[in-house]
Structure 1
Amino acid sequence: MAGVVEISRRESEVLDLLAARLSNAEIAAQLTISVRTVESHVAALLRKLDAPDRRSLARRVTRTPGTAPVLPAPLTSFVGRSAERAELAGLLTTNRQVTAAGPGGVGKTRLALAVAADAAGNYRDGVRFVDLVPVTDAALVPAALAEALGLGEQPGRDLVTSIVQTMADRQALLVLDNCEHVLDGVTPLLERLLSQCPRITVLATSRVRLMVPFERVYQVPALSLTGDAVALFLERAAAVGWPLDAPLRDQVAGICERLGGMALAIELAAARYPALGLDGITAALSHPLRMLTGGSRTDERHRSVRATLDWSHALLEPDDQVLLRRVSVFVAPFTAAAAQQVTGLPDVVDSLAKLTEHSLLTATPTHGTTKYRALESIRQYAVEKLCEAGEEAETRLRHARWCLGQAAALSSSDPEWRARFDLVANDLRAALTWAATDRPATAYELARRLAELTLRRNLTRESQQRAEQAAELAPDTASKASMLRFAAGVAGCRTVGEEMYRLHLAAAETGDAPAVGLATAATVAFRFSSTFVHPPSRAEAVELIDRARPLAGSDPAAGAALALAEAAVLTDAFGAVQGPEENDVSETIARAERAVELAHRTGDPLAESAALDALTCAHSWGGDTFAPAALTQRRLRLLASVPSSPAATHELIDALGIAVETSLGAGDIAGARDAVHRLATHPALTEVGHRVPLMVDALAGNADAVLDGSLRFIDAWRRAGSPSRNHLGPSAAAVAMIHGLRGEDEARREWLEIVGQLDRPDFVHGYKAIFDAIVLLHHGHAAEAMQRLGPRPEEVWKWITWIWHHWYVALRAEAAVLSGRPDASGLVAEALTVVRGNPVAAAIAERARALLDDDRSTLLATADAQEAAGCPYQAARSRVLAGDADAAAALVADGFAPMATPP
């Protein structure tokens, strides 16, 4: 049919994940496909849907009435409850958070699922269901919700913030099931979600109220004894092949009354009707040992459920009873093979089938394997039986060992490991919770494995938490220090400087390589100062170095770490102080070279990479542009074969970020783009990609790419609370420059205000001067551009001799020529000498000389050189300056303001 767009199933999946604001790398991980394949699907969707960018694609994902919600498929029909269904649905239309409360077994979940399915068409973005039963730690509630939404943790922000940002403009219904045991995690999450996501509605089920001011409680009643309760019993009895005659309804009503109208109890009783008949059920319920007496009011409300469970348990064969109580240690669905390992029983298949028939387990076929699970009330009952039998410790130990085996298997190269991890993650966490008290050695192994797996799963906050937990459980000093250093590496990936610093100090305090730990902490304080809220002072860092020296001895690793710390702190190799004080370039280079030499001798590529970073910065402060680019490439080659670890990942991300800048400085636009691509597609990185490419695209003149990226930039920055981070300044200035070239003065002013919030106002040179000068020259304000670039490079501190040195001197020469400066010839000659070997800056300097000599052929030659170097804007500028009217018209057609030409 004409006008119908054909979208494949895979494209539809990609489109849904785009709507959830996942990066290409996250989509690839979610669907177990390559990033390149994701890029192909995105390109196809942009073409098919005639969308200008990813943001527009995401906005087009809407749920039409009748679309199936993301809800568990019920295994049995929903009986009765028409009045309750209508009442609860009505509350959802007038309240944004409704809690369906009631005792266990009353039918809260089934009612909530039925109402959610009915209401799905009223929510543009549909329904999401979150089962909190497997969540054993309140702190992991956000992770459960994120999993239901298809989200992963993003470096630099906590999971709750990621969830809130994703759902801010969504209209959806979230169903949070079984909240009672994790209220401390649910209530703060809901408060943030509802306050910052105005079109989100939450339906929670819980045995107790959430006790929050925005809650509307709906108390789920027991089934009506004269209608729904009997209907449920009759329907379930008929489902197992034993329909009841009408005259027996009164007897059924009596049973339902004895069961208190509790849905779970009625279902379990009906399932036993073929074996016992109504008389047998009545007799069993009348047995005093099967009735709960005493206890709290809450326990009294559970009397009928407990009685039914006691009765059902008593009817089991002894072997089946053993299996039921032993599989209660599983908090997530499990297979028969897993049950056999954990229970220690030789054959469990028949017993699992019997337990399923007794409605004590549910069975769900998945991918050729049947998964079993006990309803939570039944599982808790079985846990009590496990304790009464004196089997808890042995069974939980077998469960913990099974979990360790699952974790070890996940460490192998398995393309589906993420899905497998998600299936066993809650069991791993539950086993760790138990083992932490009585089995520290087992708990240590579980915590260590979880730290590794959650890092690979992009759950970086939990990874750091598990690594620190493993450190507390470690059997020896070396293991403790190793896990603390692991945690420090994860904190680095999260860009949390304070945590890196604290954890390296903690590693030093264990006594394992204390000199290395102290020196590394001092280096971190200066090398990654931009990731601190309040960086340690120089005096504090010097004190750490002084403490480390006498502890170093003849240890090569300690000597290398000390040399790097001295370069970082004593000569400020990384520019942490951000001022010209005490920055002797020759001494800085000498110290950094010594650090590289000592690190190389240790054979540790991570130590050598860190030292090369210091040497890169030192050469930059000295005005060298090509040495930093070469040193950074050396770092990347060094890191290419390093085994995966948090520290290695952090080091690689840092090296790629520096590679973007040093490549730009040397005029290698293609190299900068390659580094940007590697950053944006790195599996441990989800948000850095939008920060740096703006700078690359802006200098190249790719206005559309910059403007599209600016939307993601400002959205992410504002959602993060508009933090003041100087490393974001160049991206914001890049956007301001593009608006300036397009003649959009108001937008430019707005972005310059953002630049002012991100960077120190006294740093007027460097990237700010470069971007300002490009705009001023475009509009013919050469004298103002010259004033902006007035100081000689050596008169301006290190930020101008960083990546912007060649751009600065080349543009300064052009501004001097166009403004008619008498010293223009000398500035051009000087620039040509400084930028030799830089294809972009050399072409700008040659253009300045051609303008001085009125040499049109050379102007056109510089245009060709700039085009080849990947700078289409500078190429177009050269052609316009050469009098090419077509080039001038093409610039305007591309959205730029008309370019001024000199008389």
Structure 2
Amino acid sequence: MRHTGTVAAGVDISPREAEVLELVGAHLSNAEIAARLVISVRTVESHVSSLLRKLEVADRRALAQRAPEPAGEGAARPAAVLPASLTSFVGRQSERAELAGMIRAHRQVSAVGPGGVGKTRLALAVAGETAGGYGDGVWFVDLVPVTDPGMIATAVAGALGLGEQQGRDMSASVVAALADRDALLVLDNCEHVVDGVALFVERLLGACPGVRVLATSRARLMVPFERVYQVPPLSLAVEGGSDAVALFMERAAAVGLPLDAGLRGQIASICERLDGMALAIELAAARCPTLGLDGIAAALSHPLRMLTGGSRADERHRSVRAALDWSHALLEPADRALLRRVSVFVAPFTVAAAAQVAGSDEGVVAEGLARLAEQSLLVVTASGGGTEYRVLETIRQYGTERLAEAGELVDARSRHLGWCLVRAAGLAVVGADWRARFDLVADDLRAALAWAADRPERRAEAYDLARRLAELTFTRHLMGESQRRFEQAAALAGDLAAGASMLRQAAAVAGCRTVGDDMYRLRRAAGDAARACGDGAGAAADLAGAATIAFRFSPTFVRIPSREEALALIGEARELAGDDPAALAAVALAEAGVLADAFGAAQGPAGNAVPETIARAGRAVELARRSGDPLAESAALDALIGAQSWAGDPFGAAETAGRRIALLSSVPVSPAGTHELIDALGIAAEAGLGAGDVAGARRWARELAGHPSLAEVGHRAVSWLLLVDALAGDVGEVLAGGVRFLDAWRRAGSPALRLLCPAVAAVAMVQGLRGDAEGRREWLEVLGRLGPPPEHALGYGAVFDAMVLLHRGQASRALERLAPEPGEVWKWVTWIWHHWYVALRAEAAVLAGSAEAAGCVARAREVVAGNPVAGALVERAGALLGGDREALLATAGALEAAGCRYQWARTLVLAGGGEAERGGAVLAGLGFAAVEASVVVPASVGADRGR
């Protein structure tokens, strides 16, 4: 299918590629696109790579400009391929061949040479020529905007379209994405972050055997695996063809002055004086229309052609500096000042931004920028959103040095910092374009923060920018950076109280990332800061909160704090709390979790401490409500839900879960609120299943699966939806969700998180019901890698295994699987699985012909009363036991109304006769295998089957 209106004529893209292109234009990451389109991240990456080739653009930013605009507006401006200049690449045939050969022979090659020699152009030419040799293509990463060596992986991830993944840094995410790829990664302009590049590349190459890296830099990476290619100046000899002369003549012709071949000797002399440096030659050729060859030769004798003094005046920089000095000398004083002042921008900027930083009128600045662009000192990009300017890295560094020489560096940096603060404050998270607006200024915000953070007199501004950047990156779903920025803000805070507040925010973001160790560490640090500044109540809340985290989110820890450690924190919190309502509520919540759990563990199944647990949870809820903090009340309600579930009260748990969601619906978006809501949605879906509310469980599970904060951790996002769909019998949804789950889980490094076990076991069950032995084996292998907890044996594991065995007609084996009485295994069965366990146990007893069947059904009726799904299952067992076909068909209708299509169809099969044929057809249509006939049923029902 041809997609028209937003792409160049003759470019064929598929409907799916068109969808992907539109979402790239909305600045969604690959993982977010995968979640939106319900496809794997690997598939999105393939579509993005295809679009880059078809539309001949260099990177995702250029690709986003080609995306269709809202409401059918005009197409974006076409962009060039592999960020090359709009001018042609001249010569260097031997260099191209040599560098390409080195890349084939070695996995990491550094193209090294002075600024202006043409490293980037050569690397891009070679990458473009060899791209067909890499199955997964070539990826280009410009490191110019990167000011922090620790952000290399973030820049690479941006080029790849990756986001952060659960519990991992960005380097691990990139390594996971490229682990099995055959690709060439071009890292351009490494010299200012060479240490960070070296560490990143070493990790990448060690884990990704099919990846090769071509780096361009002014200095070697200085690592053992590096192979250096020294990029030479352009060849100067006229005989045999001089690349330098050819470049000069081509660029002169481009600006309107074709040169006669008889002038080659004179041109060669100029190029020799420029040491064959590509940038200097291009700048000189651009002046041909106004100076001519004689004027250029004279200008090269100007004493300002060299910079003297300082460590940068070494030989390898002299040629480029000569060219830049010469070009700089030809500028009017106002244009010189403008060039050096805009050199503080590390990303493209507008006229308005330049005017603020330069401290001048917009009209004057616009004219000055145009003159600088005409002299090849700025790169201009025009789009529907306006005109942007970019300072090339060599010229940016030159301008920065000129700023220092003029004594203006601090002033310019200060104005740039002020501009960044204004932009950060004005980046309201509204409108479809807010992501794009943030992405345009993010690198400048980071650069300004890096400068200000090291200057004591700018500490207050640095704190403000760090705080705002933390908030913005959180909303942009850059969770890892958000946590780091909150921690940075805490270190920059002018007082301990503000620092404690930032540490609490950082802890909440760590919670969203499912990094329990960081949550615990940061809340304890917040408590220390609060105590140091005399805030005893705040310290009490933090220390109690840390104890609660250790219990409540223990599955997210690498090292779970001991119960003794948690109890000690509670003891400290009690001493500091005084009569502060918030502190008392936090202490009560910690007691509801840690103390009640400790008591229950000591009592065992017989005592189970349910009354004690419920009492403590209820007190925590009441105190939290009095404190007026909805997040504290939500956390306390979570403790109450757990107590109700342990007590075997799924209806109470579901009702409390609904109260919790309603409470959080009006809470403003924040790290703590988002973390609480994510947890609440999962618990609500869980509680809904326990109470037989399949529709409600699906509603909460779908909201959780679509939560933007979980787009990069799809295995967590879809886990509850997989569980709901499996129990409902929606095979198509389970298979599609399973693809997303496995893809995201493997990309995250296959983390052994126990909280994923129920979803994996549910998919394995569906594969068993489908008769797909290989598919079931694959999912059971995943379950084994997760390390199923004890509740798997006699909780959801028993329920899912029994469903498969009953489907296969192996009722006796199903009864064996469900043999333990529910009261014997209360802690693991009475979570959300109590009613399911009891109902299926009754059915297995009937179908297996157990002498205890009647008593089992009678006891089950009492337990599941009020549960629409479990109640129907028990009534089905009773109808089979009594041979009541009419009652059996009534349960079929009840199960269909409850949203359990599999159990509805299975009931029709069990009813026999024409209904059995209908039920079999429904099962086949749903994607399930036929129900095995080897079941023991009463004679009357069996007789009905012959009708």
Residue 600 of structure 2 contacts residue 607 of structure 2 at CA under 8 Å; is this kept in 1? no
**Is the deviation greater in 219-228 or in 518-527?**
219-228
Question: Is 1:653 the counterpart of 2:642 in the alignment?
Answer: no
Aligned to 2:77: none
Aligned to 1:899: 932
Aligned to 1:447: 466
Q: Secondary structure at the match of 1:393?
A: helix
Within 2, Cα distance between the matches of 1:32 and 1:162? Answer: 13
**Is the deviation greater in 823-832 or in 237-246?**
237-246
Q: Secondary structure at the match of 2:343?
A: helix
Q: 1:792 aligns with which of 806, 813, 821?
A: 821
Question: Is 1:742 the counterpart of 2:774 in the alignment?
Answer: no
Aligned pairs for 1:161-200 within 5 A:
161-200=172-211
Question: Is 1:379 the counterpart of 2:408 in the alignment?
Answer: no
Within 2, Cα distance between the matches of 1:740 and 1:644? Answer: 42
Aligned pairs for 1:464-543 within 5 A:
464-511=483-530, 512=535, 513-543=538-568
Task: Give the alignment's TM-score, normalised by structure 2.
Answer: 0.88
Percent of residue pairs bearing the same amino acid type: 63
Residue 236 of structure 2 contacts residue 272 of structure 2 at CA under 8 Å; is this kept in 1? yes
Shift of the 144–574 alpha-carbon distance from structure 1 to 2, 3 Å rule, reads farther
**Is the deviation greater in 123-132 or in 192-201?**
192-201
Question: Is 1:243 the counterpart of 2:275 in the alignment?
Answer: no
Q: Deviations over 1:797-821 (max 9, x none)?
A: 3221010011011111111212222
Q: Deviations over 1:371-402 (max 9, x none)?
A: 11221111111111111111111111110010
TM superposition shift of 1:498: 0.7
Q: Deviations over 1:106-156 (max 9, x none)?
A: 001112222333334444544332111011011111221222222222333
Residue 822 of structure 2 contacts residue 829 of structure 2 at CA under 8 Å; is this kept in 1? yes
Residue 888 of structure 1 contacts residue 899 of structure 1 at CA under 8 Å; is this kept in 2? no
Q: Secondary structure at the match of 2:454?
A: helix
TM superposition shift of 1:565: 0.7
Shift of the 485–265 alpha-carbon distance from structure 1 to 2, 3 Å rule, reads same
Q: 1:634 aligns with which of 659, 665, 676?
A: 659
TM superposition shift of 1:246: 3.3
Q: 1:777 aligns with which of 806, 815, 822?
A: 806
TM superposition shift of 1:19: 8.3
Q: Secondary structure at the match of 1:221?
A: coil
Within 2, Cα distance between the matches of 1:278 and 1:139? Answer: 47
Within 2, Cα distance between the matches of 1:477 and 1:580? Answer: 46
Question: Is 1:307 the counterpart of 2:322 in the alignment?
Answer: yes
Q: Secondary structure at the match of 1:372?
A: strand
TM superposition shift of 1:366: 2.4
Within 2, Cα distance between the matches of 1:573 and 1:406? Answer: 51
Residue 773 of structure 1 contacts residue 789 of structure 1 at CA under 8 Å; is this kept in 2? yes
Q: Secondary structure at the match of 2:111?
A: strand
Shift of the 13–419 alpha-carbon distance from structure 1 to 2, 3 Å rule, reads farther
Shift of the 573–641 alpha-carbon distance from structure 1 to 2, 3 Å rule, reads farther
Q: Secondary structure at the match of 1:462?
A: helix
Q: 1:872 aligns with which of 891, 896, 901?
A: 901
Q: Secondary structure at the match of 1:799?
A: helix
Shift of the 851–868 alpha-carbon distance from structure 1 to 2, 3 Å rule, reads same
Task: Give the alignment's TM-score, normalised by structure 1.
Answer: 0.92
Q: Secondary structure at the match of 2:517?
A: helix
Residue 26 of structure 2 contacts residue 433 of structure 2 at CA under 8 Å; is this kept in 1? no
Shift of the 868–169 alpha-carbon distance from structure 1 to 2, 3 Å rule, reads farther
Paired AA for residue 419 in structure 1: A
Paired AA for residue 781 in structure 1: Q
TM superposition shift of 1:867: 1.4
Paired AA for residue 193 in structure 2: V
Aligned pairs for 1:583-622 within 5 A:
583-622=608-647
Shift of the 574–98 alpha-carbon distance from structure 1 to 2, 3 Å rule, reads farther
- The alignment covers a number of residue pairs equal to 886
Aligned pairs for 1:800-879 within 5 A:
800-879=829-908
Question: Is 1:356 the counterpart of 2:373 in the alignment?
Answer: yes
Paired AA for residue 166 in structure 1: A
Aligned to 2:445: 428
TM superposition shift of 1:298: 8.5
Q: Deviations over 1:219-262 (max 9, x none)?
A: 22100112111121222222222333334322221121111100
**Is the deviation greater in 251-260 or in 590-599?**
251-260
Question: Is 1:146 the counterpart of 2:175 in the alignment?
Answer: no
Shift of the 172–213 alpha-carbon distance from structure 1 to 2, 3 Å rule, reads same
In structure 2, stretches of 5+ residues that fail to align are 59-81, 938-947
Shift of the 16–99 alpha-carbon distance from structure 1 to 2, 3 Å rule, reads farther
**Is the deviation greater in 822-831 or in 528-537?**
822-831
Aligned to 1:30: 27
Within 1, Cα distance between the matches of 2:603 and 2:191? Answer: 51
Shift of the 792–576 alpha-carbon distance from structure 1 to 2, 3 Å rule, reads closer
**Is the deviation greater in 755-764 or in 370-379?**
755-764
Paired AA for residue 597 in structure 1: E
Aligned to 1:318: 333
Aligned pairs for 1:60-459 within 5 A:
63=50, 68-70=56-58, 71-226=82-237, 227-292=242-307, 299-346=314-361, 347-367=364-384, 369-438=386-455, 439-459=458-478
Within 2, Cα distance between the matches of 1:762 and 1:36? Answer: 36
Q: Secondary structure at the match of 1:218?
A: strand
Residue 907 of structure 2 contacts residue 919 of structure 2 at CA under 8 Å; is this kept in 1? no
Residue 132 of structure 1 contacts residue 178 of structure 1 at CA under 8 Å; is this kept in 2? yes
Shift of the 66–708 alpha-carbon distance from structure 1 to 2, 3 Å rule, reads closer
Shift of the 16–786 alpha-carbon distance from structure 1 to 2, 3 Å rule, reads same
Within 2, Cα distance between the matches of 1:288 and 1:730? Answer: 76
Paired AA for residue 446 in structure 2: R
Residue 428 of structure 1 contacts residue 450 of structure 1 at CA under 8 Å; is this kept in 2? yes
Residue 505 of structure 1 contacts residue 517 of structure 1 at CA under 8 Å; is this kept in 2? yes
Q: Secondary structure at the match of 2:141?
A: strand
**Is the deviation greater in 885-894 or in 426-435?**
885-894
TM superposition shift of 1:38: 8.9
Q: Secondary structure at the match of 1:491?
A: helix
Shift of the 761–274 alpha-carbon distance from structure 1 to 2, 3 Å rule, reads closer
Aligned pairs for 1:721-740 within 5 A:
721-740=749-768
TM superposition shift of 1:368: 5.0
Within 2, Cα distance between the matches of 1:349 and 1:582? Answer: 79
Within 1, Cα distance between the matches of 2:576 and 2:803? Answer: 53
Q: Secondary structure at the match of 2:382?
A: strand
Within 2, Cα distance between the matches of 1:18 and 1:163? Answer: 24
Residue 27 of structure 1 contacts residue 38 of structure 1 at CA under 8 Å; is this kept in 2? no
TM superposition shift of 1:59: 6.3
Within 2, Cα distance between the matches of 1:437 and 1:896? Answer: 67
Within 2, Cα distance between the matches of 1:143 and 1:12? Answer: 29
Within 1, Cα distance between the matches of 2:477 and 2:158? Answer: 12
Within 2, Cα distance between the matches of 1:577 and 1:867? Answer: 43
Residue 18 of structure 1 contacts residue 57 of structure 1 at CA under 8 Å; is this kept in 2? no
Within 2, Cα distance between the matches of 1:294 and 1:586? Answer: 81
Within 2, Cα distance between the matches of 1:382 and 1:630? Answer: 65
Shift of the 577–180 alpha-carbon distance from structure 1 to 2, 3 Å rule, reads farther
Shift of the 363–711 alpha-carbon distance from structure 1 to 2, 3 Å rule, reads closer
TM superposition shift of 1:67: 6.2
